[in-house]
């Protein structure tokens, strides 16, 4: 395929799903011979950084100080100008934006700079059920504005297409799902010593380990998870809990665990390197995913790749990985007793856990492979480029024909 100049833009490179997706995309496109540039704003916060991986990816990496995560009108105008200038210097064939802030500014700048093709990925809706209605309406309006400056919008799950169309962001024809890619080779249960991981936590084969992988942040559902844990632990003394991740609310959550008598049953690993996550998840018996807002829940897919069944709320992209009764259990959003009951059901049935986990790996090992994601995006770019060329040829022919008739 022809070599292209492709610029990806994302607000920051914390340890997170959208960021991992973007890095895998840049690495994969670079390996395919494209000229790739990744533009990001400053990376701050307790969630960890992926900047070092980006710097070592072999492609061009640019950190733009004005592209900050917080909404700051003066700084945002400067970021818009900086992006326009940068696009004119780089002369990309394609600009591909990620995340809401970079998506809005990055697409506006690309249109103003005359970038031939503009693509955006929705990793999770910028307007969602966790926000006040006035914020949702403002973000929906901004997404409609940005969509008019996009040639294609990629979603990491079909649910994002349905939500976008329902909100009038753009037509269904402009959208397509490209499932978020994982390094599936890392999430192979045969690579990890499950017993050793559990011993390191002080657990043995008699315990049933319920794990969670998420930032310690309010929208990730810990306010729901903690009472679920309390309900379930009261009924099954074998239950133990592991939280993988860190975040601004860690102290609040630790105090609540202590208050409910759960602290001694819960291991908080803190921040770990992305390449360590698979080894820790291999020690789980069940994954509990209580996030209040998601695109595609990567932790769910990663657990299933490790043959660990998942229990999740029935929202957003979760049903595209958790097939109720086949790869795990889906529970109505914020039905805390129902969620606790689903955990207890799996805790008491090791044969069901094994069956659901095996089916989950079979579903996910191909669907969510990072190489498949990169190939699909490359095909999309090529199709958009050919479509634009064909349209240009058609316009030239029309102009030429009109002049002959005159």
pLDDT at 69: 84
HSE-up (13 A, CA, CB side) for residue 284:
35
Q: What is the pTM (predicted TM-score) of this model?
A: 0.90
Sign of CA dihedral 71, 77, 82, 85: positive
Cα distance between residue 232 and residue 235, in whole Å:
5
pLDDT at 403: 40
Q: pLDDT class for 71, splitting at 50, 70, 90? A: confident
Question: Which pair of structure tokens corresponds to residue 107?
Answer: 């697409």
pLDDT at 219: 87
Sign of CA dihedral 243, 246, 247, 249: positive
How does pLDDT run across 294-309, given as a tens digit for each residue?
Answer: 889 999 999 999 999 9
Residue 181: is its pLDDT beyond 80?
Answer: yes
Residue 67: is its pLDDT beyond 50?
Answer: yes
Location of structure tokens 């860690």: 250
Higher pLDDT pick, 341 / 274: 341
How does pLDDT run across 226-281, given as a tens digit for each residue?
Answer: 999 999 999 999 999 999 999 889 999 999 999 999 999 999 999 888 889 999 99
The percent of residues in the chain predicted with pLDDT above 70, rounded, is 97
How does pLDDT run across 312-325, given as a tens digit for each residue?
Answer: 999 999 999 999 99
How does pLDDT run across 196-216, given as a tens digit for each residue?
Answer: 999 999 999 899 999 999 999
- Cβ atoms of residues 373 and 28 within 8 Å: yes
How does pLDDT run across 343-390, given as a tens digit for each residue?
Answer: 999 999 999 999 999 999 999 998 999 999 999 999 999 999 999 888
Residue 47: is its pLDDT beyond 80?
Answer: no
Third-level CATH fold of 189-367: Rossmann fold (3.40.50)
Q: Which of 125, 96, 111 is nearest to 25 (CA)?
A: 96
- DSSP letter string, 38-102: EEE----STT-B-HHHHHTSSSEEEE-TT--SS--HHHHHHHHHHHHHHHHHH--SEEEEESHHH
Of 75-79, 135-139, 219-223, 224-228, the range with the lowest mean pLDDT is 135-139
Cα distance between residue 229 and residue 225, in whole Å:
6
Q: Is 14 helix (H, G, I), strand (E, B) or coil?
A: strand
pLDDT at 324: 97
Q: Write out the residue limits of the CATH 3.40.50.2000 domain(s) in the chain.
A: 5-181+369-400, 189-367
Q: What is the mean pLDDT of residues 52-77?
A: 92
Name which CATH class applies to 5-181+369-400. alpha beta
Average pLDDT taken over every residue of the chain: 93
Q: Which of 368, 305, 321 is nearest to 20 (CA)?
A: 368
Q: Which of 295, 296, 335, 289 is nearest to 312 (CA)?
A: 289
Cα distance between residue 180 and residue 372, in whole Å:
9
């Amino acid at each position: 395929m022809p070599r292209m100049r492709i610029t990806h833009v994302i607000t920051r490179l914390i340890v997170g799903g959208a960021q991992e997706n973007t890095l895998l995309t840049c690495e994969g496109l670079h390996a395919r011979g494209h000229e790739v540039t990744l533009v990001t704003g400053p990376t701050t916060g307790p969630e960890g950084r992926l900047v070092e991986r980006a710097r070592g990816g072999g492609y061009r990496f640019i950190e733009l100080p004005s592209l900050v995560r917080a909404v700051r009108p003066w700084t945002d105008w400067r970021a818009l100008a900086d992006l326009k200038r940068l696009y004119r210097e780089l002369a990309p064939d394609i600009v591909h934006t990620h995340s809401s802030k970079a998506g809005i500014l990055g697409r506006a700048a690309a249109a103003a700079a005359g970038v031939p093709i503009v693509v955006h990925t929705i990793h999770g809706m910028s307007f969602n059920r966790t926000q006040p209605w006035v914020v949702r309406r403002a973000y929906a309006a901004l997404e409609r504005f940005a969509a008019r400056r996009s040639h294609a919008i990629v979603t990491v799950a079909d649910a994002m297409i349905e939500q976008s169309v329902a909100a009038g962001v753009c037509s269904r024809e402009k959208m397509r799902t490209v499932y978020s890619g994982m390094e599936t080779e890392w999430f192979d249960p045969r690579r990890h010593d499950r017993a050793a991981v559990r011993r390191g936590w002080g657990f043995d084969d008699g315990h049933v380990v319920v794990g969670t992988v998420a930032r310690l942040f309010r929208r990730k559902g810990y306010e729901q998870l903690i009472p679920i844990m309390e309900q379930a632990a009261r009924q099954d003394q074998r239950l133990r809990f592991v939280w993988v991740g860190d975040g601004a609310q860690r102290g609040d959550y630790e105090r609540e665990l202590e208050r409910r008598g759960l602290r001694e049953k819960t291991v908080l690993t803190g921040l770990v390197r992305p390449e360590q996550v698979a080894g820790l998840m291999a020690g789980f018996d069940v994954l509990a995913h209580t996030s209040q807002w998601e695109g595609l829940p990567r932790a769910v897919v990663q657990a299933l790749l490790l043959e660990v069944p998942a229990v999740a709320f029935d929202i957003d992209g979760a049903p595209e990985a958790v097939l109720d009764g086949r790869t795990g259990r889906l529970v109505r959003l914020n039905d805390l007793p129902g969620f606790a009951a689903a955990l207890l059901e799996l805790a008491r049935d090791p044969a069901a856990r094994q069956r659901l986990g095996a089916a989950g790996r079979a579903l996910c090992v191909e669907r969510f492979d990072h190489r498949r994601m990169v190939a699909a995006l490359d095909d999309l770019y090529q199709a958009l480029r050919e479509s634009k060329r064909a349209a240009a040829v058609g316009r030239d022919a029309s102009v030429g024909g009109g002049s002959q008739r005159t």
